[in-house]
Structures are given as structure tokens and as C-alpha cells.
Amino acid sequence: MMGSMVVRFPDGSKEFRYPEKMLVEGDVVWHDGERFRVISVNMDEKDSAVVIVEAYSSIGDMLRSEEGAIHLVEISA
């Protein structure tokens, strides 16, 4: 299993420890107090996961906050 993956946020890319379950399109992730929806998961030429996300919010999010979202753990530089 992979040790890390790159997540491309609207404001830049960050590297994270790979979660227990493979991310798939439609998953909701939580990072820096915000929810994001996974729009694609691809493998690069090194067989590392590259995940593209977009901001995800709805009226229900105001009530649920981080509930149900996968928490991403950033890898220290």
C-alpha cells in the first residue's frame, strides 16, 4: 500500500499520509477546517495517487461540520 498521496486543492497541492481506504470520486475529505469533494483520483507515472478536489459545502455542512468526512493527515516537510 502507498505511503502518501498528493491532493490538489484549488489553491495548491499538498502531500498527505495515505488513508486506510482508497479515496474515490465523490468522497468528502476534511482539511484545514474545510470540506472538499474528490472529483478524480489518478495514478501518476510513479504509481502514486494524485487526488483532485473541489470545495464542498451545503446548508447541511453548517450543521454537520466535519461529520462523515475523511480526515487528511499532512506529511511534514
Per-residue pLDDT of the chain (77 residues; tens, 9 = 90+): 457 899 999 999 999 888 778 899 999 988 888 889 999 999 888 778 899 999 987 655 555 555 667 777 777 64
Note whether residue 77 is domain-resident: no
> Nearest Cα to 35, choosing from 6, 10, 5, 1?
10
Note whether residue 42 is domain-resident: yes
Query: Partners of 5 in the beta sheet?
Result: 16, 49
Whole-number pLDDT of residue 20: 79
Note whether residue 57 is domain-resident: yes
Note whether residue 76 is domain-resident: no
Total structural domains in the chain?
A: 1
For 50, the domain range is: 4-71
Note whether residue 32 is domain-resident: yes
Distance from the Cα of residue 44 to its chain's centroid = 16
Note whether residue 26 is domain-resident: yes
